[in-house]
Amino acid sequence: MRVIDSHTGGEPTRVIIEGGPDLGCGSLAERRTLFAEKFDHYRTMSVCEPRCSDATVGALLCEPVDPTCSAGVIFFNTADYLGMCGHGAIGLLVTLAYLGKVGVGKHRIETPVGIVTAELLSANTVRVENVESYRYRRNVKVNIPESGEVTGDVAWGGNWFFLVDGAPLPLTVENIPELTYASNKVRRALLESGVTGKDGAEIDHIEFFEKPAEGCADSRNFVLCPGGAYDRSPCGTGTSAKLACLAADGKLAPGQSWVQKSIVGSRFKTSYRVGEAGGVIPSITGEAYICGEAQLVFQTDDPFRLGIS
């Protein structure tokens, strides 16, 4: 299996460019279902330990159904499959540019949850226009054992998020272990309380926010991803969900800039336009860098050939 590794704002993406499963030529949603049901070992082999880490998002490069698209992609991580991935889309386009498959300009990328537009601004800078995002529920209260009540919004940004303004402790690198523990407690409480996204979808991302002390960003966040790792980047789908909530509250106008800063200090520059269904179409600009190119080897007598999952 041939892969290209990149990071977007510190968050890694591993693109499978050769040696992935043959998923046929159905829609990306159908191919994602087939991937999960018949070929899930390709996911665990490529992004789980011992070959990778919990922070990595995988991206299977696919032929698109829509001929106007430059590529199709199925995103996944160590726990499951993703609808969309903002940092991953930025990393994918930089990877395609590195391979000489795309040049500067706008490109349509087909995902299981719809087509997104990604514009290559330079070799390392990409602006992604995400799927339409929206707030599903406002001011949802859940009781956290040993911590008390937490209030947050449920929103869709390509994945389901529970967004909490006011972190349980300062959003600093030193507090990452405690923030991870607190986020996991919130996620468990949502499951136990039956709080879900639309149509009973599991809320698998937890996001804390605070106002940064310095004036170089509008917000700083901490995002817990489904695999249990925190997002090193500001999280593209999480920032999309945040923009949807800001717009719903009348706190951010269409076209107005919003700078989201991650727990490690990387930034996404964002804005939005109004979507056809009443949500928002987020625009997210970030930087990705190629950091590796590898041929993964799977020896038949390796007891962890399929990964540790």
* Three-state secondary-structure class, residue 188: helix
Rounded to 10 deg, the angle between the 28-38 and 40-47 helix axes is: 80
* Stated length of the chain: 309
235 annotated active-site: yes
Which ranges in the chain belong to alpha helices (H)? 28-38, 40-47, 86-98, 176-193, 236-248
Q: Is there a contact between 138 and 158 (Cβ–Cβ < 8 Å)?
A: no
Active site residue 69: no
Beta strand pairing call for 148-156 and 114-120: unpaired
Instruction: Name the active-site residue from 52, 225, 235, 245.
Output: 235
The active-site residue, picked from 52, 62, 69, 85, is: 85
3 state SS for 9-57: CCEEEEEEEECCCCCCCCCHHHHHHHHHHHCHHHHHHHHCECCCCCCCE
Catalytic residues: 85, 235
